[in-house]
């Protein structure tokens, strides 16, 4: 298959009164991504469950883990779509808590990636760094998952690319405009230097902790080269508005450009001179 259709959900935190209300919101957004092979939700989507916890303790969001997984498993299989269900920063493994991204596959497979580079406030809140970078190989495309801050480290995307990734999905929650542009500029840089597509899905709005108000403008990015858009932005959401953006990505074109283009940055690497 040479083309894949992808959608990025710009998800707005909103007051909810039940898990069923959360599920209904998710389904409505998926309806807007009908026909897409892959649908990407943003980082920390489960923070919205804070509205269901009277004392506002984020640690109690753990209780919704099973329902979260069951919901997206069902939706992925029913709709025959790969759903990147953002990340759940309350994933417990052997007593440690991780910010874990989940990719739900139509055949029932579940791919997990725990965020390998976490910000100081994540460290202080008790999160643990993941240590594995893997690529998910599907019938359509090879994909990597790089959550928000991870995109600010070139080695993460480079490792995923060298392992075969053709698209990197980046679920993101940035709490101010500075943070957004850090991640967005890095997503664009990773697309250029690795000759890869990047899908940046942003969380916006305010969960019940105001310090976590999201700022975003989701995008689907390419290298900056003909015949892609001059600025490498294939599709882009409006700033801080809940919406879904969609694009068709040509994989055959990507591989052709990797072999021969104006700036074949992947082929022209010189790892022999990069050692310290």
How far apart are alpha carbons 117 and 156 in whole angstroms? Answer: 9
53 and 61 Cβ atoms separated by less than 8 Å? yes
**Dihedral angle, C-alpha 79, 43, 48, 121, nearest 10 °:** 160
Which one from 12, 43, 122, 225 is the annotated catalytic residue?
43
Is 202 one of the annotated active-site residues of the chain? no
DSSP readout, 120-141?
HHHHHTTB-------EEE-SS-
Which one from 12, 148, 166, 187 is the annotated catalytic residue?
148
Q: Classify each residue of 60-79 as buried b or exposed e, where b means 16 or more C-beta atoms within 10 Å of its C-beta.
A: ebeebbeebbebbbebbeeb
Is 166 one of the annotated active-site residues of the chain? no
Is 105 one of the annotated active-site residues of the chain? no
Which one from 12, 112, 115, 257 is the annotated catalytic residue?
115
Pairing assessment for the beta strands 243-250 and 3-13 based on DSSP bridges: antiparallel
Q: Which residues participate in catalysis according to the annotation?
A: 43, 115, 148
């Amino acid at each position: 298959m040479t083309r894949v259709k992808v959608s990025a959900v710009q998800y707005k935190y909103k007051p909810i009164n039940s898990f069923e209300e959360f599920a209904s919101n998710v389904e409505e957004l998926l309806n807007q991504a009908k026909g897409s092979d892959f649908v990407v939700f943003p980082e920390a989507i489960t923070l919205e469950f804070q509205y269901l916890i009277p004392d506002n303790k984020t640690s109690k969001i753990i209780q919704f883990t099973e329902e979260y997984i069951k919901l997206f498993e069902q939706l992925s299989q029913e709709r025959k779509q790969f759903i990147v269900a953002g990340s759940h920063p309350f994933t417990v493994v052997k007593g440690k808590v991780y910010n874990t991204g989940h990719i739900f596959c139509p055949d029932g497979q579940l791919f997990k990636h725990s965020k390998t580079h976490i910000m100081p406030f994540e460290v202080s809140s008790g999160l643990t760094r993941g240590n594995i970078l893997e690529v998910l190989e599907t019938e359509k495309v090879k994909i990597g998952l790089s959550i928000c801050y991870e995109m600010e480290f070139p080695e993460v995307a480079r490792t995923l690319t060298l392992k075969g990734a053709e698209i990197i999905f980046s679920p993101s929650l940035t709490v101010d405009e500075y943070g957004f542009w850090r991640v967005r500029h890095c997503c664009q840089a990773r697309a250029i230097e690795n000759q890869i597509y990047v899908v940046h899905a942003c969380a916006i709005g305010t969960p019940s902790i105001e310090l976590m108000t999201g700022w975003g403008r989701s995008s689907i990015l390419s290298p900056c080269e003909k015949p892609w858009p001059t600025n490498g932005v294939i599709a882009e959401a409006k700033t801080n508005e809940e919406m879904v953006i969609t694009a068709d990505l040509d994989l055959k074109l990507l591989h052709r450009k990797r072999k021969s283009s104006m700036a074949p940055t992947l082929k022209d690497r010189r790892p022999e001179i990069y050692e310290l």
